[in-house]
Each structure stands twice: as C-alpha cells, then as structure tokens.
C-alpha cells in the first residue's frame, strides 16, 4: 500500500482504467486514516484531477453584441451637432440631453470618453443619490442626464480627487498623458483627428484586451460547458434535468430536486436521474481563470455540498484550480466527484451508476426533462 501511494505521489502513470473519483475517494480515506504517504498522494492526485486546460482568454463569446466604432463616432457627432458651436469644447448638459433623445448610444459613449463603463456610471450616480435607468437607452430624466454629465465632466477636465496619497484620480490614458491637450478640447481633437494606432495599443495594454467584454459574457462560458456536459450524458444514456439543452427547466425546478428547502444555488446546472426517474446527482459548474479567482470561488464551492440533498458533482473550469491549496478540501467536500472539461466522459460514466444514494429526500415536482 505504501509503495502504491508513493507511486501516485511521484506522478507515475496508473493503468487498469480506474475512475478518477474512485481513486480520489480512496486516497481521502487513506489520508484520513493516517497512512504513510497518503497525504502527498492525495495532493498530487488532486492537482491532476483539477488540471484544466480551459483558457477563458482564448475564445470570445457573443461577438454580435459588440458595438462597432462608427456608432461611437455617430454618438459624439450627435452631441457636437447639438452644441451651438458644433464642437465638444462647449459641451453642456442640455446638448447631451438633446443628443440622447436622438441617439440612444450617447450617454454610454460619453461614459467611455471618461473611461467609465455603464455599470461604473450607474454606481457613481447612485453614490450621488441619483439612480440611473436600468438600461443606457433610458428613459432619461433631466436630473439623471445632468448627473451623468457632471460625473463625466469631472473626469475629462481632471477635477477628480484621488483617494490615496501619492495616487492620481483615474482618467483615460489619452487624457492622463495629455496626448492632445487637456479637457474637452482634447476629446474634440481626438474626435476630429485620426488617432494613432500606437494610442490604441497603449490603451489596450493598460486596459487588457477584451476584458470588459469577457466580464459581460462570463455566464455564457458556463452555459456552453453545460451543453458539452449534456452531450456526454446523452452519449452515456444518462437521463437528466438541465437549465439548458432541448428541454430546459427553471433554476427553481432544479433547486426543488437537489437543494435544501428555501435555498438556491446559482452554480447548479444539471440534475441527473436514475433508472426510476428519481434525482441522482446534482452537478455544479464553476469557472476560475487564475489562482486568485479560484481562491475566492473555492470558498463558495466548498459550502455547496452542505446545501444539497443529493450527492454533489463539481465541474471546475480554468487553469486556476489545480494550483490552489484548497484542492484537497474540494475533493473531500464532493467525495471525489470533481472533474474538469477533460473528464466529462468520466463524469458521465460515473453518473450511469443507478444505485439509490442513502438518505436522499427531495422536494420533487414535475417539469420538463430529458428522458
């Protein structure tokens, strides 16, 4: 036994077709029993099990939602057209309000001029006691437009005050460096003159290419991975309920099958069924691109099994999981049922185990299902 544990700890290959969850469960038992070498073997096996090659920076999702540059140009031209002088140098709240009425992209575009996303604008306005509309397209009230203009104008003209000693208030790169002067005169100069490609690259460097878009489409990653999981379950002949697929069900329906009464889990995406149609496994998905994200997510994921009335299965995506010290704890919490995108076929094979887990009681209701 000790030799076998050392073999695993030294990352030597295993033969015989043992399932990863069975191996991990056995290693947890060996470690808890205090067997020599079991702790090291568990750590290495956990890292291997959680080794995901899924790189969230490699793909772009929902590209049809990206705003084309000409729409920003048109929005700024609309504002300039509502200014008596035809120049953003003389911009005023009244011009912004008139322009927004004609072009729904105006407010969001001005926010980006100040380096502020729509969410940033809403948060800053709320901090001033002025809630903004749910969407940037409105409808807008005069006071809301004035508040947005004050926020943007404060940034553009450099009147913002830093919160930390030795820092400077956040401003867009091109305004911070004074590439074309200062204030609205600089914005007008950028609007009417060709911006160099070097400026674009410098902005990309400090802002990280596609970061805001990826943040907006994070949920889509989980949805697409659910679809891959469903393909694996279909191939293995495993019945399930899921929030996606050909017959999606509501999150509340899944919660009624798998979660303790009165609780909901956002990560819950699939509940498999046994041969008798009863709930069997609750499958949860979590994404972590780096170690920092994995650390924060692990604190939440570790608590999930305690909220379930079914055995939990974790699908962990992203390169951040395998290097975390919480790996052993995750294996224990899910009793070895932890997988990455590389192990979906193994997960499906494990889910074909149709024996009824002891002590399962659910709040079962009827609903759409895959049979």
Q: For residue range 81-96, list pLDDT tens digits in order.
A: 999 999 999 999 999 9
User: What mean pLDDT, rounded, does the chain reach?
Assistant: 82
Residue 236 falls within a domain, yes or no?
Answer: yes
Contact 358, 32 (CB under 8 A): no
Residue 362 pLDDT class (50, 70, 90 cuts): very low
Residue 368 falls within a domain, yes or no?
Answer: no
Q: Given this model, what pLDDT does residue 327 score?
A: 67
Q: Given this model, what pLDDT does residue 292 score?
A: 65
Residue 25 falls within a domain, yes or no?
Answer: yes
| Rounded Cα–Cα distance for residues 7 and 22 (Å) | 17
pLDDT > 70: what percent of the chain?
82
Contact 280, 308 (CB under 8 A): no
Of 218-222, 284-288, 349-353, the one with minimum mean pLDDT is 218-222
Average pLDDT over every residue of 97-103 = 96
pTM above 0.75, yes or no: no
Average pLDDT over every residue of 217-233 = 85
Residue 364 falls within a domain, yes or no?
Answer: no
Q: Which of 188, 207, 226 is the last residue of a domain?
A: 207
| Rounded Cα–Cα distance for residues 164 and 148 (Å) | 24
103 and 201 housed in the same domain: yes
- Burial of residue 364 (CB within 10 Å: 0-12, 13-18, 19+) is exposed
Q: Could you give the number of structural domains in the chain?
A: 3
Q: Is the four-CA dihedral 20, 21, 26, 32 of positive or negative sign? A: positive
Residue 288 pLDDT class (50, 70, 90 cuts): confident
- Burial of residue 230 (CB within 10 Å: 0-12, 13-18, 19+) is buried
Residue 32 has a CB neighbour count (10 Å cut-off) of: 12
Residue 246 has a CB neighbour count (10 Å cut-off) of: 9
Of 46-55, 93-102, 154-163, the one with minimum mean pLDDT is 46-55
| Rounded Cα–Cα distance for residues 89 and 80 (Å) | 9
76 and 189 housed in the same domain: yes
Smallest CA-to-CA distance from 194 within 173, 177, 180, 178 is with 180
Residue 57 falls within a domain, yes or no?
Answer: no
Q: With 90 as the cut, is the pLDDT of residue 233 above it?
A: yes
Whole-angstrom distance between the N-terminal and C-terminal Cα of the chain?
Answer: 43
Q: With 60 as the cut, is the pLDDT of residue 170 above it?
A: yes
Q: Given this model, what pLDDT does residue 84 score?
A: 95
Angle, alpha carbons 352-346-275 (nearest 5°) = 10
More confident residue, 25 or 267: 267
Q: With 60 as the cut, is the pLDDT of residue 360 above it?
A: no
251 and 286 housed in the same domain: yes
More confident residue, 208 or 129: 129
More confident residue, 367 or 264: 264
128 and 44 housed in the same domain: no
92 and 225 housed in the same domain: no
Q: Phi then psi for 179, rounded to 5 degrees?
A: -65, -30
194 and 77 housed in the same domain: yes
Question: Half-sphere exposure (CA, 13 Å, Cβ side) for 156?
Answer: 23
Element (H, E) at 9: helix 2-9
Q: 36 is in which domain, residue-wise?
A: 2-49
Residue 367 falls within a domain, yes or no?
Answer: no
89 and 157 housed in the same domain: yes
Q: Is the four-CA dihedral 161, 215, 301, 305 of positive or negative sign? A: positive
């Amino acid at each position: 036994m000790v030799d076998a544990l050392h073999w695993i700890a030294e990352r030597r290959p295993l033969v015989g077709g043992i399932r990863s969850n069975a191996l991990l469960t056995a290693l947890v038992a060996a470690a808890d029993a205090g067997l020599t070498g079991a702790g090291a073997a568990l750590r290495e096996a956990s890292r291997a099990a959680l080794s995901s090659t899924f790189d969230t920076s490699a793909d772009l999702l929902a590209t049809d939602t990206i705003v084309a540059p000409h729409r920003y140009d048109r929005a700024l031209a609309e504002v300039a057209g509502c200014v008596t002088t035809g120049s953003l140098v003389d911009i005023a709240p009244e011009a912004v309000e008139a322009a927004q009425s004609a072009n729904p992209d105006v407010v969001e575009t001005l926010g980006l001029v100040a380096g502020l996303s729509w969410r940033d604008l809403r948060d800053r306005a709320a901090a001033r006691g002025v809630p903004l509309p749910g969407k940037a397209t409105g409808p807008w009230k005069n006071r809301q437009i004035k508040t947005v203009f004050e926020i943007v104008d404060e940034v553009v003209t450099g009147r913002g005050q830093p919160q930390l000693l030795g820092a400077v208030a956040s401003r867009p790169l091109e305004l911070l460096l004074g590439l074309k002067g200062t204030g609205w005169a600089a914005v007008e100069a950028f609007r009417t003159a060709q911006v160099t490609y070097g400026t674009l690259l410098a902005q990309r460097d400090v802002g990280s290419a596609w970061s805001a878009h990826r943040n907006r489409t994070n949920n889509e990653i989980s949805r697409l991975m659910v679809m891959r999981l469903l393909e694996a379950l279909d191939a293995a002949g495993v019945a399930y309920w899921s929030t996606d697929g050909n017959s999606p069900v509501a999150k509340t329906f899944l919660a009624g099958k798998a979660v303790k009464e009165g609780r909901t889990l956002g990560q819950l995406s699939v509940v498999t069924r046994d041969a008798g149609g009863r709930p069997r496994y609750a499958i949860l998905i979590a994404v972590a691109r780096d170690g920092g994200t994995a650390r924060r997510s692990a604190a939440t994921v570790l608590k999930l099994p305690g909220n379930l009335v079914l055995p939990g299965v974790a699908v962990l995506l992203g390169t951040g999981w395998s290097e975390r010290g919480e790996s052993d704890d995750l294996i224990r919490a899910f009793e070895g049922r932890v997988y990455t995108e590389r192990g979906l076929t193994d997960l499906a094979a494990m889910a074909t185990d149709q024996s009824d887990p002891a002590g399962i009681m659910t709040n079962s209701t009827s609903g759409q299902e895959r049979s």
